[in-house]
Amino acid sequence: MGMWQFRIFPAISMLLLGALPVLAQHEYTESEIEAGKAQYAINCVRCHGPDGDNITNADIGHGKSRRATTDAEFVALIREGISGTRMVAFPNINEQNAQTIVAYLRSMASTANAAASLPPGDVARGKTIFEGKGGCRTCHRVGDQGSRTGPDLSQIGAQRRVVELHRSILEPDAEIIPANRFLRIVTKDGSALTGKLLNQDSFTVQILDVKDEKLKSFSKSNLREYTFVSNSPMPSYKDKLSTQELSDLISYLASLKGQAN
Amino acid sequence: MRRINLRHMLFVVLTATGSLYAQVSNDRILRAAQEPQNWLTHHGNYNSQRYSTLSQIAPDNVKNLELQWLFQARSLEKFEATPLVVDGIIYTVQAPNDIVALDAATGRLFWTYSHTPDPAARPCCGRVNRGLAILGDTLFMATIDARLIAVDAKSGRPLWDVAVAKPESGYAMTLAPLVVKDKVIVGTAGGEYGIRGFLAAYDAKTGKEVWRFYTIPGPGEPGHETWPSQNNAWEHGGASVWVTGSYDPDLNLTYWGIGNPGPDWNGDERNGDNLYSCSVVALDADTGKLKWYYQFSPHDEFDYDSTQVPVLADMQWKGSPRKVMLWANRNGFFYVLDRATGQFLLGKPFVEVNWASGFDEKGRPQRVPGMVPTAQGTSILPGNQGGTNWYNPSYSPKTGLFYIPTWANYSSLYVKQPEDYVEGRPFRGGTPRPTTPNGIRSTVNNYAKEDEGYGAIRAIDPHTGEMKWQFKMTDVTDAGVLTTASNLLFSGGREGYFYALDARDGKLLWKFPVGGRVVAGPMTFSSAGRQYVSIAAGNSLFTFALKQ
């Protein structure tokens, strides 16, 4: 468990430490947790879900695994798997990387309830907010509805933790992953446009135009200007939604796991 | 008289055409620069300048280059090999260890020799191979399961096959061998598995080992005192060799860059300078005895392998002719050494560096306090892949400039962790992390900003270390550089272009979208009076020539 978590969530951490004897064997650094997050996203999230609780009786995100308690047991379980179950061995994950996954799981246990101060959310009400008051479909797509210019949220509940969704809605600039960057482009004839960056190289750039959702490729030699948009185009919903509405919206997003909605 | 004249004429004809089919003698390799139609060694010739005197393709016509043929490898691995060209035949390696012989003008296949590596092979960073060596009619390949194999160049038939080291202990070979006289020299990779690295020379005819130089000195040998006396860290201290060295026939010295000490990112159990890790060693080519060494990064904890190409040049140095060695190191500094003695002549950063502030009078780097891996992580410039790495630079005697494939604005967060050595298992002692926002950059789509790191070709004046120009790319590069007497520079990058620059000012003259990243060095040759340029990219070997 990293120092960062202790500073931010001291009360929660102490509570969890008292309640769950399975927590960290030693302190993890912030960078170990970050590395573990990346490893988890590559290797684990598909089955275990973003909060580690997709599989009944194997809530690895909250220290409730029946098979492993200590860090060493978790590492062995990751690398050797559990015979007779769907938990296959990951020998390609070396011991250090497995250790970082454990670090991330421990940190997950301490932060999973950071959004727990919210009242229980309602998925159906959240969907209404998403499609109505929130205006989310102006930029985001779910299934075959909505714009393609923002991140597609059809599977966001399988990719992001509740605590991350909470932060993204209130502080959209806090973390913009590179694949969600936007560019402002001005061509030599003076036409200006903004687009989601899809790819670039030394000579060309590929975008999805925000206005008409067309895929466009430009030769850089034909551009007068080519700059990254520094902030997220998404507004903060901090003062736009009530606490209940926020919880409903998060519940809806967390329910989006790739099925038709 | 008539019969004698006919015999004489026949002899003359055979002699005249003989070079087309002659064996690759030592003499030919020594004079490789005099037959630029061929590419007889991995780096073109013994000085490893990757410079060709061919000049049919020039700045004013390079725009007329067009693809002549491409060879698609039956492999999805990185294509890192630089081919050899011998009298109209291209020899290269399809990963992991298949030798192919192709017609240089058409790309058509003559034969394939396929080696199936031992499943125990565990190369750290891809099942790759960087090329071959040739002597007489025999090709030599070092394999990822640490074998050295000799193959008949006409038929592809194996002649001998010897074990160099144990793959189950983490030894591997990915480099092209170097032939010197009657010996084939190779070195062992495995620096991330706690090997004890070595260079070894084998008899080209029999495969019998002739000499061995351990890159970590044993007890009683000079340099052993740079490893702790209270433990056996030296026995598994890495110091691998995975890039082909150079040779100076006048000095009879062969030069090799040595890799990082292990564990990579935690030096707690290996106090001391850890010779000859992160060094260049100059060995007597006949005996393997050490003549001199220079250590670029004493007690390295940043994975700054010194497995770069030792580029040999003869130039005026402060008013006197001098045999020098030019070296852009993974640690971010450009060096000039006297290659007869190892004397340090110049050291200057060619990228941003924060782990050292300069050098003492002997050329030892002056460390910046606190710039070491820690449990929390320390941000170090350049990052773990270095300011440059194994991909070959080039020196053009024509322009007098040294060209470096460069990673700029690039750092890593070095995190140290404890690690015990277990034979055959990774032995790294931590993990470097990206310092750029949101972690690892995509290897397919490129969303990066310039301040998150970019690739470049940087042209350096070797007399001063000053950058004369740079050609920037939006993505980093793993591509080598070729220069020619017509002032052309060829290179590529991860973006999937192969391009030509004006070597004098870095101006882009031509580019071709090869559709896959370039992780190899270009080379040039000629056949039937026509100059070709070849580059491996993606999973194919591309060959270009001027439009006819």
Report whether pLDDT(A84) > 50: yes
Instruction: Please state the separation of Cα B58 from the chain's center in Å.
Output: 26
Instruction: Please state the separation of Cα B483 from the chain's center in Å.
Output: 16
Give the model's confidence band at A70: pLDDT under 50 very low, under 70 low, under 90 confident, else very high: confident
Residues 6+ apart with CB under 8 A from B343: B337, B363
Do A201 and B431 lie within an 8 Å CB cutoff? no
- The two structure tokens encoding residue B314: 């003869």
Cβ atoms within 10 Å, residue B507: 12
Report whether pLDDT(B136) > 90: yes
What's the confidence (pLDDT) of residue A114?
57
Q: Quick check: A27 contacting B, CB < 8 Å? A: no
> Under a CB-based contact definition with an 8 Å cutoff, are residues B185 and B201 in contact?
yes
Rounded to whole angstroms, how far apart are CA atoms B336 and B312?
A: 10
Report whether pLDDT(A173) > 70: yes
A190 secondary structure, DSSP code: S
Rounded to whole angstroms, how far apart are CA atoms B456 and B350?
A: 11
User: Cα-flanking dihedrals φ and ψ of residue B58, to 5°?
Assistant: -140, 170
- The two structure tokens encoding residue B433: 């992390």
What's the confidence (pLDDT) of residue A62?
75
Rounded to whole angstroms, how far apart are CA atoms B533 and B509?
A: 15
Q: Quick check: A92 contacting B, CB < 8 Å? A: no
Give the model's confidence band at A63: pLDDT under 50 very low, under 70 low, under 90 confident, else very high: low
Measured N-to-C along each axis, helices A243-255 and A123-131 cross at an angle, to the nearest 10 degrees, of: 100
Report whether pLDDT(B451) > 90: no
Give the model's confidence band at A112: pLDDT under 50 very low, under 70 low, under 90 confident, else very high: low
Best residue in B427, B446, B457, B470 for a mutation probing chain A (most A CBs within 10 Å): B446
Q: Quick check: A221 contacting B, CB < 8 Å? A: no
- The two structure tokens encoding residue A92: 């390609």
Best residue in A31, A33, A197, A223 for a mutation probing chain B (most B CBs within 10 Å): A31
For the segment B37-46, the average pLDDT, to the nearest whole number, is 98
Best residue in A201, A206, A217 for a mutation probing chain B (most B CBs within 10 Å): A201
What's the confidence (pLDDT) of residue B437?
53
Coil, strand or helix at B492: strand
Fold match, A3-114 / A123-175+234-255: yes
* Beta strands in B253-319, from DSSP E residues, in sequence order: 253-257, 279-284, 290-295, 311-317
- b/e for A79-102, b at 16 or more Cβ within 10 A? beeeeeeebeebeebebbbbbbbb
- Residue A85: C-alpha distances to residues A70, A80, A82, A102, A159 (Å): 20, 12, 6, 20, 23
Q: Residue type for B269, please?
A: E
Do A200 and B474 lie within an 8 Å CB cutoff? yes
- Element of type H or E holding A216: strand A215-219
Do A38 and B439 lie within an 8 Å CB cutoff? yes
Report whether pLDDT(B11) > 50: no
Question: Across the interface, which of B419, B449, B495 has its CB nearest the CB of A201?
Answer: B495
For the segment B82-102, the average pLDDT, to the nearest whole number, is 98
- Residue A183: C-alpha distances to residues A176, A198, A205, A230, B437 (Å): 13, 10, 10, 9, 17
A75 interaction partners in chain B (CB closer than 8 Å): none
- Residue B327: C-alpha distances to residues A125, A166, A190, B216 (Å): 65, 51, 46, 22
For the segment B394-400, the average pLDDT, to the nearest whole number, is 98
Give the model's confidence band at A20: pLDDT under 50 very low, under 70 low, under 90 confident, else very high: very low
Give the model's confidence band at A135: pLDDT under 50 very low, under 70 low, under 90 confident, else very high: very high
pLDDT tens for each residue of B355-365:
999 999 999 99
A197 interaction partners in chain B (CB closer than 8 Å): 447
Q: Quick check: A168 contacting B, CB < 8 Å? A: no
For the segment A34-38, the average pLDDT, to the nearest whole number, is 81
Give the model's confidence band at B440: pLDDT under 50 very low, under 70 low, under 90 confident, else very high: low
Coil, strand or helix at B18: helix
B30 secondary structure, DSSP code: H
Q: Which residues of B touch A (CB under 8 A)?
A: 375-377, 413, 415, 417, 419, 426, 428, 430-431, 433, 437-442, 445-449, 472-475, 493, 495-497, 511
Residues 6+ apart with CB under 8 A from A31: B376, B377, B413, B415, B433
Task: For A183, name the nearest residue in chain B, comparing CA atoms only.
Answer: B447
What's the confidence (pLDDT) of residue A203?
97
Instruction: Please state the separation of Cα B34 from the chain's center in Å.
Output: 22
Query: Strands B365-367 and B356-359: what pairing?
Result: antiparallel
For the segment A34-47, the average pLDDT, to the nearest whole number, is 83
pLDDT tens for each residue of B186-239:
999 999 999 999 999 999 999 999 999 999 999 999 999 999 999 999 999 999
Query: Has domain A3-114 been given CATH number 1.10.760.10?
Result: yes
Rounded to whole angstroms, how far apart are CA atoms B72 and A79?
A: 36
Give the model's confidence band at B442: pLDDT under 50 very low, under 70 low, under 90 confident, else very high: low
What's the confidence (pLDDT) of residue A10?
34
A96 interaction partners in chain B (CB closer than 8 Å): 417, 419, 426, 428, 430-431
A198 interaction partners in chain B (CB closer than 8 Å): 445
Query: Strands B178-180 and B523-527: what pairing?
Result: unpaired
B496 interaction partners in chain A (CB closer than 8 Å): 201
pLDDT tens for each residue of B278-302:
999 999 999 999 999 999 999 999 9
Distance from CA of B529 to the nearest CA of A (A): 33
Beta bridge partners of A194: A184
- The two structure tokens encoding residue B92: 């290269």
CA pseudo-torsion sign A22, A25, A31, A37 = negative
> Under a CB-based contact definition with an 8 Å cutoff, are residues B164 and B197 in contact?
no
pLDDT tens for each residue of B254-284:
999 999 999 999 999 999 999 999 999 999 9
- The two structure tokens encoding residue B53: 């005197």
* Beta strands in B285-363, from DSSP E residues, in sequence order: 290-295, 311-317, 320-328, 333-338, 344-349, 356-359
Distance from CA of B356 to the nearest CA of A (A): 24
Residues of chain B above pLDDT 70, percent:
95
Report whether pLDDT(A254) > 80: yes
- The residues of B carrying an active-site annotation are 303
Coil, strand or helix at B470: strand
Using a cut of 0.90, tell me whether the model's pTM lies above it: no
> Under a CB-based contact definition with an 8 Å cutoff, are residues B135 and B24 in contact?
yes
Window from A91-100, B158-167, B176-185, B463-472 with minimum mean pLDDT = A91-100
> Under a CB-based contact definition with an 8 Å cutoff, are residues B514 and A240 in contact?
no
Q: Quick check: A30 contacting B, CB < 8 Å? A: yes
> Under a CB-based contact definition with an 8 Å cutoff, are residues B476 and B407 in contact?
yes
A177 interaction partners in chain B (CB closer than 8 Å): 438
What's the confidence (pLDDT) of residue B244?
98
Domain ranges of chain A: 3-114, 123-175+234-255, 178-228
Question: Across the interface, which of B375, B433, B496 has its CB nearest the CB of A35?
Answer: B433
pLDDT tens for each residue of B492-522:
999 999 999 999 999 999 999 999 999 999 9
Question: Across the interface, which of A94, A175, A198 has its CB nearest the CB of B438?
Answer: A175
Report whether pLDDT(B17) > 60: no
B219: left (phi over 0), alpha (psi -120 to 50) or beta: beta
Query: Strands B482-484 and B51-52: what pairing?
Result: parallel
What's the confidence (pLDDT) of residue A175?
85
> Under a CB-based contact definition with an 8 Å cutoff, are residues B337 and B325 in contact?
yes
Could you tell me the fold of the domain covering A178-228?
SH3 type barrels. (2.30.30)
Give which of B211, B183, B213 is closest to B282, Cα–Cα.
B213
Whether omega for the bond prior to residue A233 falls within 30 degrees of 0, making it cis, is no
What's the confidence (pLDDT) of residue B436?
65
Rounded to whole angstroms, how far apart are CA atoms A120 and A106?
A: 24
pLDDT tens for each residue of A183-210:
999 999 999 999 999 999 999 999 999 9
Distance from CA of A199 to the nearest CA of B (A): 5
Rounded to whole angstroms, how far apart are CA atoms B66 and B62?
A: 9
Rounded to whole angstroms, how far apart are CA atoms B540 and A174?
A: 42
A172 secondary structure, DSSP code: T
Per-residue three-class SS string for A6-45: HHHCHHHHHHHHHHCCCCCCCCCCHHHHHHHHHHHHHHCH
Beta bridge partners of B454: B408
For the segment B440-466, the average pLDDT, to the nearest whole number, is 89
Give the model's confidence band at B5: pLDDT under 50 very low, under 70 low, under 90 confident, else very high: low
Do B377 and A29 lie within an 8 Å CB cutoff? yes
State the alpha helices, DSSP H only, in B112-167. none
Coil, strand or helix at B253: strand
Do B377 and A200 lie within an 8 Å CB cutoff? no
Instruction: Please tell me the class of the A123-175+234-255 domain.
Output: mainly alpha
Give which of B483, B130, B181, B182 is closest to B311, Cα–Cα.
B483
B82 secondary structure, DSSP code: P
Beta bridge partners of B458: B404, B470
- The two structure tokens encoding residue B189: 């990779």
